[in-house]
Amino acid sequence: MNRLAIVDLASRTVETEEVPRDLRRRFLGGRGINTHLLFHAVDERTDPLGPDNVLLFGTGLLTGLPWVGATRSSFTAKSPETGHLGDSAGGGHFGAEVRFAGFDHLVLRNRADRPVYLFLHDGAIEFRDARQFEPLTLMATQNAIKRELGDPRVQVAAIGPGGRRLVRWACVMHTMADAWGRTGMGAVMGSKNVWAIAARGTGTIPVADPTGMAKVTRAHYEQVTQSKGFLATSNYGTLVRLNNTRSQGYEGGFNHQRNMTELPGELDADVFLDRYEVAKAACFNCPTHCRHLHEVTLRDGTLKRGGGPEYGGVGGWGSQCGTSDWRTILEAWDYCNEMGLDTLSATAYTAWLMELWEKGVITAADTDGLPLRWGDHDAIMGVLRQTVERRGIGALIAEGWMHAARAIGRGAERYFDHVKGLSIECDDVRGHRAQVLGLATSTRGACHLRSRYTLEEFSLPEKVTEKLIGMPIPSDAAAYTNKEHACVWTEDLCALADALGACKFLSKWLSTGLLGVDEFRDAVEVATGLSFTTDELVRVGDRIYTMERLFLVRQGMSRKDDAVPAKFYQPWTHGPRAGTRVEAAPFEALLDRYYALRGWDARGIPAPETLQALDLEKEGAFLESRREVQFLWNGAAEEQGHAETHR
């Protein structure tokens, strides 16, 4: 246990080493240690789909332990979709099984000469042929591996045809509904000719204080299951957000041209539960069971079973692409899962193309004759099929939106809403200032899972937030005051959750009654014997975030990249808060206060004393040469960053 395996795919050799205890103290595990490893393994010139990129897999420090929701694990690499930090966390049972098989972290180097899958079992890593899976979907591949290995308890993380054909926004998936979705980790896995990783283990994970672990788990279990947030997520999953965003007027519509649509109210969580849900599913050691299995009769009459859907997909194909037809959405959702495409990117790309069609920027000549009218079933499915088959408009977007925008020309990139190259989600958060700030500063590009201050939507009294965050946060979502504190608090909490393998749905990210840093601290102590104060643990979150920031700065990014889409500066046109928009001056002032709170300079670059306090001086050393030639470098960096992100 506590082992890091370095796998050279070209020579098929494996070296293992112990994860040093001091690295654990600095970065815990999961996303934390992955970020550290990635920073040192690649540089600003590494080609994301070349053999020099590394694919890192990391289980959280608590993953696989008898703790509530000890489930998450992370894939990390340089992203082929955005050209910078790629990182994605996923749940299910895979991370836990990898630990039982005797590994905590995997580093996949180079490229296998032919398609293989890795089988991790009881301290060994086996290379096995994967060519026979060529005709299979992602789901069928997982089942075939379970059958081939003759053990139904084998857990598999695989890529589908999308990843094998190097679609730059392909994902890695496990079971029917667990994805490491964003930033194209499936394409990196495909570029390494690794089509799946299977794990099965009977090992023991050492627990420092078993009695304490049992006690802490019981207490946290009670806390989680008695909270209000728990009831919503365990019944509806993420679909609960559909109803909120619509009623409060921030569902993004028609590629964020509208903040409300007048589509029929079919896309409601209760409608889904009534008509399509057949079972609920849970991740390892989690009482929440936020995932659904559904069955739907498709247009051609076939009955199809699928896993999901999540809010991002339903809102993404729904209000964003202009349909309220569940059958279309579920068909698109299942198709993406079977092909291994990230549904958030898929919805954003489709909505973008539909707006380009509406504006006349693209025509039938670009799309292989496929009309891309809003809400059209054939258009939605056609875009996805063309992507996997790499023809028509799909051949362009398979290479990422930046490539597609360049190939299309005619100002197409102006219609794509993104932060740092990663598309924003369907909901339109321009009226929530901490969330807008989080979108701008998020280290992997636009993301709701590392920087969204979800609590902003609940209009919490200042007394509550002062106790929680240490600063009174105005209950008015549209206020700018003190929102930098809310944003930093969320970012640190999310970084910690990802490093520990904890699920954000069981944390204060979602609801004040759920688990926070104090609870994380208790669990870490009984599980590993590493003792932290709450402040020290928050500092680890800060360190992880600043480390990721250093990665971005090394890529040539700075304040200019902490920007939200231009559409956010236009006012909302509909609903109870019509007229709301992001105002440039208070937003820039908020960004200044955020940098100051983080200890970064006005360009968003971590200051020397911050790096010293976070023990990141070595990693920040590259800044020194750049600081001296600040002006020269700023210009060069802009150019380089441009070249990088538009490669």
Partner 1 sequence: MLRLTVNRSRCTGCRFCESACVVSHGGGFALASARIRIGQEAIDALGFDVDVCRQCAVCPPLDVCPTGALQRDRATGVLHLDPAQCPAGCRLCAEACNLDAFHDGGDGLLLCDLCDGEPACVRACYTEALFLSEYRLGERGMGKGFAATRSR
- Residue 64 lies near partner 1 (rule: CB under 8 A): yes
380 close to 335: Cβ distance less than 8 angstroms: no
- Residue 201 lies near partner 1 (rule: CB under 8 A): yes
Give the nearest distance from C-beta 156 to partner 1 in angstroms. Answer: 8
- Residue 73 lies near partner 1 (rule: CB under 8 A): no
- Residue 51 lies near partner 1 (rule: CB under 8 A): no
Among 77, 96, 120, 496, binds partner 1 (CB under 8 A): 96
Among 23, 219, 293, 460, binds partner 1 (CB under 8 A): 293
- Residue 65 lies near partner 1 (rule: CB under 8 A): yes
Residues 7-46 that bind partner 1 (CB under 8 A): none
- Residue 152 lies near partner 1 (rule: CB under 8 A): yes
- Residue 62 lies near partner 1 (rule: CB under 8 A): no
Q: Rank residues 145 and 329 by Cβ distance to partner 1 and give the closer one.
A: 145
- Residue 213 lies near partner 1 (rule: CB under 8 A): yes
- Residue 278 lies near partner 1 (rule: CB under 8 A): yes
Question: Smallest Cα–Cα separation from 107: which of 28, 37, 160?
Answer: 37
Considering only 200-208, 340-348, 438-446, 537-545, which stretch makes contact with partner 1 by CB under 8 A? 200-208
Task: Kindly give, in sequence order, each residue whose CB lies less than 8 Å from that of residue 369, ignoring residues fewer than 6 positions away.
Answer: 392
Q: Rank residues 214 and 602 by Cβ distance to partner 1 and give the closer one.
A: 214
Give the nearest distance from C-beta 491 to partner 1 in angstroms. Answer: 28
DSSP state letters, 335-400: HHHHHTB-HHHHHHHHHHHHHHHHTTSS-TTTTTT----TT-HHHHHHHHHHHHHT-HHHHHHTT-
Considering only 79-87, 275-283, 339-347, 350-358, which stretch makes contact with partner 1 by CB under 8 A? 275-283
Residue found under tokens 């509909």: 574
Q: Rank residues 225 and 248 by Cβ distance to partner 1 and give the closer one.
A: 225
120: left (phi over 0), alpha (psi -120 to 50) or beta: beta
Q: Rank residues 336 and 397 by Cβ distance to partner 1 and give the closer one.
A: 336
Q: Rank residues 291 and 554 by Cβ distance to partner 1 and give the closer one.
A: 291
Give the nearest distance from C-beta 277 to partner 1 in angstroms. Answer: 12
Q: Rank residues 67 and 551 by Cβ distance to partner 1 and give the closer one.
A: 67
Q: Rank residues 289 and 577 by Cβ distance to partner 1 and give the closer one.
A: 289
Tokens of 161: 């045809």
Residue 621: half-sphere exposure toward Cβ, Cα within 13 Å:
4
Give the nearest distance from C-beta 146 to partner 1 in angstroms. Answer: 7
Q: Rank residues 212 and 472 by Cβ distance to partner 1 and give the closer one.
A: 212
Residue found under tokens 């023990």: 615
Task: Kindly give, in sequence order, each residue whose CB lies less than 8 Å from that of residue 58, ignoring residues fewer than 6 positions away.
Answer: 29, 30, 31, 33, 34, 37, 73, 74, 76, 104, 105, 106
> Strand, coil or helix: what is 92?
coil
Residues 449-508 that bind partner 1 (CB under 8 A): none
Q: Rank residues 281 and 607 by Cβ distance to partner 1 and give the closer one.
A: 281
Angle at 119 between CA 104 and CA 8, to 5 degrees: 70
Tokens of 582: 């992001």
Q: Rank residues 109 and 294 by Cβ distance to partner 1 and give the closer one.
A: 294
Residues 102-141 that bind partner 1 (CB under 8 A): 139
Q: Rank residues 35 and 63 by Cβ distance to partner 1 and give the closer one.
A: 63
- Residue 279 lies near partner 1 (rule: CB under 8 A): yes
DSSP state letters, 140-162: HHHHHHHHHHT-TT-EEEE--HH
- Residue 529 lies near partner 1 (rule: CB under 8 A): no
How far is Cα 311 from Cα 490, in angstroms, rounded to an integer? Answer: 21
Question: Smallest Cα–Cα separation from 173: which of 298, 73, 292?
Answer: 73
Give the nearest distance from C-beta 291 to partner 1 in angstroms. Answer: 8
- Angle, helices 326-339/377-389, rounded to nearest 10 degrees: 10
Considering only 49-57, 61-69, 536-544, 634-642, which stretch makes contact with partner 1 by CB under 8 A? 61-69
Q: Rank residues 232 and 477 by Cβ distance to partner 1 and give the closer one.
A: 232
- Residue 324 lies near partner 1 (rule: CB under 8 A): no
590 close to 480: Cβ distance less than 8 angstroms: yes
122 close to 116: Cβ distance less than 8 angstroms: no
x-marked contacts with partner 1 along 225-264 as a string, rule CB under 8 A? x---------------------------------------
x-marked contacts with partner 1 along 602-641 as a string, rule CB under 8 A? ----------------------------------------
Which amino acid appears at position 529 of this protein? G
Which amino acid appears at position 445 of this protein? G
Q: Rank residues 171 and 493 by Cβ distance to partner 1 and give the closer one.
A: 171
Task: Kindly give, in sequence order, each residue whose CB lies less than 8 Å from that of residue 354, ignoring residues fewer than 6 positions away.
Answer: 254, 255, 321, 322, 372, 373, 374, 379
- Residue 203 lies near partner 1 (rule: CB under 8 A): yes
- Residue 563 lies near partner 1 (rule: CB under 8 A): no
- Residue 275 lies near partner 1 (rule: CB under 8 A): no
How far is Cα 276 from Cα 305, in angstroms, rounded to an integer? Answer: 9
433: left (phi over 0), alpha (psi -120 to 50) or beta: alpha
Q: Would you call 343 exposed, middle or buried from its count of C-beta atoms within 10 A (0-12, 13-18, 19+)?
A: buried
- Residue 63 lies near partner 1 (rule: CB under 8 A): no
Q: Rank residues 305 and 627 by Cβ distance to partner 1 and give the closer one.
A: 305
Among 2, 79, 175, 183, binds partner 1 (CB under 8 A): 175
DSSP state letters, 223-259: HHHTSHHHHHHHHHGGGHHHHHHHHTT-B-BTTTTBS
92 close to 59: Cβ distance less than 8 angstroms: no
- Residue 216 lies near partner 1 (rule: CB under 8 A): no
Give the nearest distance from C-beta 140 to partner 1 in angstroms. Answer: 9
Give the nearest distance from C-beta 513 to partner 1 in angstroms. Answer: 16
Size of the site for partner 1 (CB under 8 A): 41
Per CB under 8 A, residues contacting partner 1 are 64-66, 93, 96, 100, 139, 142-143, 146, 152-153, 175-176, 201-207, 210, 213-214, 217, 221, 225, 278-287, 289, 293, 305, 307
